Amino acid sequence: MKNTTLCYIEQEDDYLMMHRVKKKNDVNQDKWVGAGGKFEADESPEECLLREVYEETGLTLTSWKYRGIVTFVSDKWETEYMHLYTADGFEGEIGECREGTLEWLPKSAVYDLPIWVGDKIFFRLIEQDRPFFSLKLRYEGETLVYAALDGKEVSHDLKDW
């Protein structure tokens, strides 16, 4: 199992999104995601969040919110516990990213981007300003086959959200 962070940085009605096109053998190849990555030894979720956001964007977060934990289970990849954040305060200038290209995109446009189906579920939870949540997503290849919110199975079909 691995622990990771993921952060969607907000500015007005936009998210800072990363198009993952630069890293070889990337599970997120060609998908759009937020900033984040794997924990280093002895890091807390917040320490990982701040380090990863700075490394990938050049921004220093000044205001963030821990939104939930997402458990990814896959028949192809190691189980991952992803600590999900949004941030609405930052300092600095966006720099060059080694893993992809960074772009401010309207929040309403994220559903039309190539993203994981499960990401659409947690975007909906964020939009609803849902209190801290636990979301479990199980994939077979790139197909989402199971979703549970706070321990209860839910539809993984986005039209039901």
- Per-residue pLDDT 10s for the chain (161 aa) are 899 999 999 999 999 999 977 767 767 668 899 999 999 999 999 999 999 999 999 999 999 999 999 999 999 999 999 999 999 999 999 998 988 999 999 999 999 999 999 999 999 999 999 999 999 999 999 899 999 999 999 987 766 66
Give me the pLDDT at residue 23, please: 67
The count of C-alpha atoms lying within 13 angstroms of the C-alpha of 149, restricted to the half-sphere facing its C-beta, is: 13
Q: What is the pLDDT of residue 56?
A: 96
Q: Which two tokens stand for residue 48?
A: 């990982």
pLDDT at 30: 80
Which residues are CB-neighbours of 84 under 8 A, at least 6 positions away? 5, 6, 7, 66, 67, 68, 69, 70, 122
Write down the pLDDT at residue 128.
Answer: 94
Question: Tell me, what's the pLDDT at 31?
Answer: 85
Residues 61, 90: contact at Cβ < 8 Å? yes
- At 161 the pLDDT is 64
**Selection from 110, 102, 132, 119 nearest residue 17 by Cα:** 102
The CATH number of the structural domain formed by 2-160 is 3.90.79.10
